[in-house]
Structure formats: C-alpha cells, structure tokens
Structure 1
Amino acid sequence: MSCTTSTPVPHVPCHVPAPPTKEELEYVDLAIVDLSKAATPEGRAQLATQVRDAMRDIGFLVVINHGYTQEQRDRIFDIADYTITHVSDEDKLKYEAKVLETGSYQGYKPPQFWHIDNGVLDRIEQYNINRNVTLREHPELLRPLLPEISEFGKHNHFNVCHLILRLLALGLELPEETFINLFNYDACGESSVTFMKYFSRSEEDEGKAKNVWFKGHTDLGGITILWSQPVSALQILLPDGKWRWVKHIDNSLVINVGDALEFLSGGYYRATIHRVVQPPLDQRGFTRLGVSYFSMPDDNVKLVPLTESPVLQREGVQRRFSDEESPIMEQWRKGRIVAYGKSELKKAEGNVEEEYIHGGLVKHYN
C-alpha cells in the first residue's frame, strides 16, 4: 500500500500500486547514481564520471537518495491518480490541451489522441502542469493541491535536474553552471510535471499494435525524470538492437537525456529510443500510473553544440543540423509536439518510421 500513516491535508484517496511482476524479464543494466555522494568533492568527481559514462553509452540511469522520502513519493502518486480519476470528464474538456493549435501539452490530453499503429490509437490519459502552476487555470478540484505540485516541480528542478546538469557539464569538462544557465526555472516554456495513466486495450488492438502502447521515440527536451512505479512496461532500445526492460526500484528515479541535450552536447550524450509496451501477464489487471518531470532549455536557446568543450574538441562533434539551420528550443518542441502521433510517417527499414522536423530526422519505432 502507498497510503501514508498520517493524513495529509488536503485529503485525496490513496492510490494502491500494483505488486511488482514476478516474471523473468530481460532487464537493462543501468547505472545507479547515489545523489547523496554529491556532498563531498570526491563523491562529486566520482558521480561526474558515472553520469558521463551512463549518458554517453546508454542515455539512461537510475537515481537514488534524491531527497524525497517514501511518504512524499507516495503522496505525489496519490495526487497523480486523483488528477486523472476524480476530475470529471466535463472539467477535463474545459482544461483540455490545445496541442495542435499551440504546440503545447499543457492541460489534459484525452485517450485516443495519438496514432500508434495499424489504426490503433493510444489509451493514455495525461495532465501536464507547467512548473509555473499559475501560468494557466486548473480544475477546481485540483486548486488546493497546486502548492504541493509546485513544490514537487521545484524539487525535481533544483534538487535533481540541476545536479544532473552540473555533472553532465563536468563530464564535458565545462564549468558546472554551463547547462544550468540554459535551463532557467523562471523561463516558462514547456517544462512540466506530468501525470499519465495507461489503460488496457482489447486483444484485437494489442495484436494490431504489436503490444506497443507508446511507440519507440526519443524525448524532445533536456532531462526527463520518471518516478519509478511497479508496472513493468518501459523498454529501452540498446545499441545491439535489442529491447530490454527497465526494472522498478521503489522510490528511485529513471532519468534520461532528450534531443535538446543531445544537440547541445554535440551527440556526446545519447537521446535513447524508448517505448512503453503491454505489461507482463501478472500485471495486466492494473493500470500504469506515471509521474514525470520534463525539463527543457529556455525557449530562446539555439540548439547548437557547445564546441568550447575540451572533450568535444578532442573527440569530435556530431551535428544533426548546421549551426545556421539549428532550431531554437521553442521551434523544436512545438514541431515535435504537433507532429507526434499525428503526422504521416515514412516507412523505413524494419519497424522504423521517419519524419523530418525543422530539417532534422526523427525516428519512431513500433
């Protein structure tokens, strides 16, 4: 049970998570980064090497000792479930995200919005809340919870994302603040707290979509922080061409690099393809509840490689665009958001589909 022993105010119903799967799955071996080690110079140097290698080789890692207690973690999952299941459909329509008109996910995204494969649409409901929770209005039921959601966003940004960005800068032999200066908290953009709930599909649709719930993709931003939850469904495409599962570790974070940070690092850090698939057999009676923080560079940041890095000067730069043609963050995020699950994709080799966003090749995997 995730229920806390105390009764937080305001009260929301307790979200009871699924038990972890007992099936034998082929898990990816991810680095486990203990953020408590950052308190000493020696620990910081060790973490910088560990984070650099993980984000270069795989593009994903796991974080523990991030400053949130188990009770605090459980509370935010209670709030996430409440946001999806207790707000009325009428209110959700009032606060629906105008994705195609604005290039933004802020608000509710209803199920059956994205095309997955062979005519099958997604079964994912989500609510995106800009880290500046006052930027737009929210359903009345959620307004008493906004201070907690705001503090949760701040914790993700300052206590986790900032530290990872510092370590990634050190990995490029750049000043610690290099990336942080591009990820200003007060710059609204699209950085957000996101609550997602995945609902089951018919067996017919599972077959048509090859059991894929969210097709293989890279994230579009800087750093994604996914709060681990027990329903196994997340898979990573490794360099050997195989998909492997991400193992749940309670009160841990799964962190990955997105497109923007790959561009800024000249390809040194990897925006890795990942997907969500139908859970193992012993978890199929449960819905999958996701809690994430998506951080992005400021909208006016031009996504060109930081060629002043001594590492990039030694090892070379991989460019997706010429410097002149590189988009700013606002252009890239809006282009990716509007196109995802809506655009006509070109079939490539195997199960790969392709499209171009601002002249940059984007691949999707079914």
Structure 2
Amino acid sequence: MTVGSAPSIPHYQPPPPTKQQLDYADLAIIDLAKAATPEGRAELAGLARDAMRDIGFFYIVNHGLSPHETERVFDIADVPFSHVSDKEKLAYTGNILETGTDQGYKPRQYWNIDGGVKDQVENYVINRDVTKRQHPEALRPFLPELSNFARKNHDILHTVLRLLAIGLEIPEDTFVNQHGWDADGETYVRFMKYYPRTAEEEEKSKQVWLKGHTDFGTITILWSQPVSALQILSPDGEWRWLRHIDNALVINAGDCMEFISGGFYKATIHRVIQPPEDQRGYTRLGVFYFCNPDNDVVLETVSGSSVLERLGIKRSFIDDDTPTAGTWLRGRIAAYGKTQLSQGQQKGVEEEVLNGAVVRHYN
C-alpha cells in the first residue's frame, strides 16, 4: 500500500494478545488468493455461503496486504486520536443526529450504553472518497495512502460480494453493481479507539461496551487486532469471542445484506465487552471498512435466485414501503445510541422501529 518515500509516523504498538482461555467462535477461514479463477471462486463460494448463512461471520487471509502494510495502516489509524488536539477535533466533529452520517469525529460519551453509562469510544470516519471532507492537519499527509487503502478494501468487498452472489446462484456481479466505487454512498473507513472505563462504569453497564446489535449495511470488513472484546451471538444462543489472527480480516453481514438476500444471509448480532483481565487498561484501536449499497439502491430482495425460490423468498418490507439504502442508513446512523428503546418480548432484548422494520438491541 505504501509507495516511495511515504511520510514518517510514530509507530503504534498494539497490546499483546490475551493468554486467557476463552470460548472462541469457530469461524471459517477463506483464502482469498483462490478467488483469482472461476474454479477457485466456485470453491470459496460454498464456504462463504454456509458461513454467512449459518453464522454471519468468517475470516479472510491472503487479502493482498503484507503484515508490514497492515502495521502501517494501524500507525495511521492512531493519528486522529493521538496526534490531534481536542480543540482541533471539535472542528471536525460530525453532526450525526441531524445529518444521519458519522463522517468525521464521534466523541467519547456520545452513545447511551446501559445503566446511565455512556460509551468510551472515539471514532474518526473517512468516506472512501477522501476528498469529500477536510481532515485534521496531522492526517493530511496520509490521505493518498488512505485512498489506496479504501480502494483495496473495496476490491475485497467486490470479491466477497461475488462469492455471495454465486452462493445464491445469481450472476456474479449482481451485488457488485449495487456497490460502485464512484457512486453516491456511505461506504467508508472507520477508525475506532476504545478507552478503559472505571470500575463503577463496568459494574453499572454489566461490562458491556456496545450492546448486541447488527451492523447497518451489507458487509463489514474488520482488520483483526489483538485486544479481545468482540463477541458474536452464536446459533445456540451463547456469546462467543472472536479470536485474533495476525493480518487477517473478519467479515460479517449487516442489515442491508439480509434484506437484499431475502434473509438468506444473516445480519449477525455481535457486541463489545470488557476485555479479559490481562488486557484491561489498554486502549483498543480498530480499523474497519463499512460497506453499504449505493444510496439509491432499493433494499428489495434480489430476483432470479433459484436458491431463494426453492427455500421461499422472505421480504423484510411491504414492496411500496421498501426504503433505499440511503434512507435506511441515515435513519440507523442517526438513531444508534440516542433513541429511547422499548422492552421487547424477549428478556434482555430492546427494540425500536425504523422505516417499518424492527431493530433489536441485545443486552
């Protein structure tokens, strides 16, 4: 990803992986190097289909970035948090509630978590077109690298979308055509930094840092990092940890993928909790690529899938009320962590209704 004489940058040293024995989720590992040929994609499509249908998460290895290049990305990811003053951050803070977009900074203590406790997560979000907004001065020298990084992630996204289309027995580019690089949309790089909380905050929130939720878009690409805190709700109803794999990606489906696949691919519920004891006190730096359909894509179930025809197509919306991706995403982004939730029928589940769909939060 880096070329020539890239600007120098302080090295971000990640914490060591946990040594505690945790109950890890058993996820498929997809070798993306095999996707270069039709035969390889056909093989991987079966793995991706089963993983995304049964669990909603899988790993990717051999994605095209070397360990050194990935390390460089994390060095850059720490810049907006550690090398920008609080005063300058204010100038680049997004108006999430009014705009329904979270580009720019999201400050700590913005989201409501539980028990009167707010989050300790700081975000910096960059549209895949890095020129759409101004950025803090310290980050500007790295914008060419971030643009290249976003493009690389988008290529990975398109490969994943092709595999999932093959799994539904529809043309390979069906989902790719809904996720253009140059289209108007909310696909972006997100850097997240979680800060340790007080013992009182941990007790009041039951050690939950982000409640169980589904992501809003189609696919989320998470660059694996060593602080254990992410858990998924497994099909048997148990919360299980995500294992860190060096230089691997964690892929999961979101709401929009569940909508357009007729419920075949699951938007899996996941949460973030207090790390294991030997990692407490560290910050947790995350690098993500949140992938959403183009804003004008109507979130209707894809047509022409013999798989869905055999199983029975499930529609999430009444046809006339089906929102576009832009409408859905703006509503979800604006509401997250800010709206008053109501108690659902299931214990520990809170609900809200957005665009006619029930959105659930798990605690």
With the length of structure 2 as denominator, give the TM-score of the two structures: 0.98
Give the counterpart letter for 2:43 in structure 1.
Q
Give the aligned residue type for 1:188.
D
Q: 1:55 to 1:98 in 2, by over 3 A?
A: same
Q: Does 1:133 align with 2:130?
A: yes
Deviations 1:97-130 (A, max 9, x none): 1101100000000000000001100000010000
Partners of 1:219 and 1:177 in 2: CA distance: 23
* Aligned partner of residue 320 in structure 2, secondary structure: coil
Give the superposition deviation at 1:351.
1.3
Deviation at 1:185, TM superposition (A): 0.8
Q: Which residue of 2 aligns with 1:329?
A: 325
Q: Quick one: distance in 1 between partners of 2:22 and 2:314?
A: 34
C-alpha deviations, 1:174-206, integer Å up to 9, x for none?
000000000011123211000000001111110
The answer on whether the counterparts of 1:345 and 1:353 sit within 8 Å (CA) in structure 2 is: yes
1:147 maps to 144
CA distance in 1, matches of 2:79, 2:360: 34
Does the residue aligned with 2:22 lie in a helix, a strand or coil? coil
User: 1:41 deviation in Å?
Assistant: 2.9
Q: Residue 8 of structure 1: CA displacement?
A: 5.9
Match of 1:55 in 2: 52
SS class of match (2:35): helix
Corresponding position of 1:365: 362
Q: How does 1:131-210 map to 2 (within 5 A)?
A: 131-158=128-155, 160-210=156-206
How much has 1:25 moved relative to structure 2? 0.3
Q: Alpha-carbon deviations, 1:269-291, whole Å to 9, x = none?
A: 00000011000000012110000
Runs of 4+ in 1 over 6 A off after TM superposition: none
Partner amino acid, structure 2, of 1:317: I
Distance 1:356 1:73 in 2: 39
Of 74, 77, 94, the match for 2:91: 94
Q: State whether structure 2 residue 96 is matched by structure 1 residue 113.
A: no
- What CA deviation, in whole Å up to 9, does each residue of 1:151-189 have, x standing for no partner? 00000001x101000000000000000000000111232
Q: Which runs of 5+ in 2 are unaligned?
A: none
Number of residue pairs the alignment of both structures matches: 361
Shift in alpha-carbon separation, 1:24–1:301, aligned structure 2, 3 A? same
- The one-letter code matched in structure 2 to 1:261 is M
- Match for 1:253 among 249, 257, 278? 249
Secondary structure, counterpart of 2:122 in structure 1: strand
Where 1:197 maps in the other structure, the secondary structure is strand
SS of the residue 1:272 aligns to: coil
**1:19-72 CA distances to partner (integer Å, 9 max, x unpaired)?**
110101000000000001112332221101000100000010000000000000
SS, match of residue 195 in structure 1: strand
CA contact 1:232–1:247 (8 Å) conserved in 2: yes
Question: How far, CA to CA, are the matches of 1:345 and 1:154 in structure 2?
Answer: 37
1:76 to 2:73 alignment: yes
1:111, 1:300 → 2: CA distance? 32
Name the counterpart of 2:11.
14
Deviation for aligned residue 1:353: 0.5
Identity of matched residues, %: 59
1-structure distance, mates of 2:5, 2:63: 22
- Once the two structures are TM-superposed, the CA of residue 11 in structure 1 deviates from its matched residue by 1.1
How far is 1:7 from its partner?
A: 10
Output the aligned Cα RMSD.
1.3
**Which of 41, 48, 67 is matched with 1:44 structurally?**
41
Q: How far apart are the structure 1 equivalents of 2:55 and 2:286?
A: 22
1:59-90 CA distances to partner (integer Å, 9 max, x unpaired)? 10000000000000000000001121111111
Residue 28 (structure 1) aligns with: 25
CA distance in 2, matches of 1:62, 1:291: 15
Per-residue deviation at 1:320?
Answer: 1.9
1:342 to 338, 343, 356: 338
Q: Distance between the aligned counterparts of 2:13 and 2:302, measured in 1? A: 45
Distance 1:322 1:219 in 2: 22
Question: Are 1:232 and 1:245, in contact at CA under 8 Å, matched by a contact in 2?
Answer: yes
CA contact (8 A) 1:234 1:277 kept: yes
Matched with 1:307 is 303
> Following TM superposition, by how much is the alpha carbon of 1:319 offset from its aligned partner in structure 2, in angstroms?
2.0
Report SS of the residue matched to 2:319.
coil
Q: Which of residues 293, 313, 318 in structure 2 aligns to 1:297?
A: 293
What is the one-letter code of the residue matched to 1:149? L
Deviations 1:202-259 (A, max 9, x none): 1111011110111111000011000000000000001211100000000000000110
Unaligned runs of 5+ in 1: none
SS in 2 for 1:324: helix
Q: For the residues of structure 2 that align with 1:190 and 1:38, how far apart are their CA atoms?
A: 26
